[in-house]
Amino acid sequence: MKKRFLTGWMIALINVAAICNVKNFPLLAEYGLSIISFLFLSALFFFIPVAFVSAELAAAWPERGIYTWVKEAFGSRLAFFAIWLQWASNVLWYPTILSFIAGTAAYAIDPQLATNPTFIFCAVLGSFWLFTWLNFFGMRLSGWISVLSALLGTLLPIAVIILFGVKWMLGHHALAFHWSLHSIFPRIDTLNELVLLSGVLLGLAGLEMSAVHAQNVRNPKRDYPLGIFVSAFLILLLSSLGALSIASVIPQSEIELTSASMRAFSYFFAAFELPWMTPLLAAITTFGAVGMLSTWIAGPSRGLLAAAVDGDLPLFLHKANRFGAPTALLTLQAILVSLLASLFLFMPSVNSSYWTLLALASILYQLMYLLFFFSFLRLRRMKKNQERPYRVPGGRWGAWIIGGCGIAGSSFGFFFAFFPPAQFNVGKLLLFESFLIVGMLFFCAIPFWIYRCRKRVWKEST
Domain residue spans in the chain? 8-461
Structure confidence at residue 269 (pLDDT): 86
Each residue of 327-343: pLDDT tens digit?
Answer: 777 888 888 888 888 87
Nearest to 202 by CA among 36, 430, 417: 417
b/e code 429-439 from CB counts within 10 Å (16+ = b): eeebeebbeeb
76-106 and 277-308 helices, crossing angle to 10°: 160
Look up residue 386 and give its amino acid.
Answer: Q
Residue 281 and residue 157 in contact, taking contact as beta carbons nearer than 8 Å: yes
The pTM assigned to this predicted structure is: 0.81
Q: Greater confidence, 14 or 398?
A: 398
Q: Which residues does residue 122 pair with via DSSP β-bridges, in sequence order? A: none
Residue 457 has pLDDT above 60, yes or no: no
The span from the CA of 288 to the CA of 307, in Å, is 30
**Within a 13 Å sphere around the CA of 27, how many CA atoms are in the beta-carbon half?**
29
Q: Greater confidence, 163 or 330?
A: 163
- Say how far residue 271 (Cα) sits from the centre of its chain: 32
Each residue of 29-38: pLDDT tens digit?
Answer: 877 777 888 8
Residue 106 and residue 259 in contact, taking contact as beta carbons nearer than 8 Å: yes
Structure confidence at residue 145 (pLDDT): 58
Each residue of 367-380: pLDDT tens digit?
Answer: 999 999 999 999 99
Q: Greater confidence, 191 or 287?
A: 287
Structure confidence at residue 166 (pLDDT): 86
Q: What is the DSSP letter of 6?
A: B
Cα 419–Cα 370–Cα 421 angle in degrees, nearest 5? 15
Each residue of 429-453: pLDDT tens digit?
Answer: 788 888 899 999 999 998 888 777 7
Structure confidence at residue 134 (pLDDT): 74
Q: Give the Å distances, CA to CA, from 85 to 55, 74, 244, 295, 414.
A: 21, 16, 33, 18, 13
Q: What is the DSSP letter of 460?
A: H
The span from the CA of 70 to the CA of 310, in Å, is 14
Nearest to 102 by CA among 281, 270, 289, 358: 289
Residue 1 has pLDDT above 50, yes or no: no
Least confident piece of the model among 6-10, 291-295, 362-366, 384-388: 291-295
Burial of 339 (C-beta count, 10 Å sphere; 0-12/13-18/19+): exposed
The span from the CA of 222 to the CA of 54, in Å, is 16
Q: Which CATH architecture has domain 8-461?
A: Up-down Bundle (1.20)
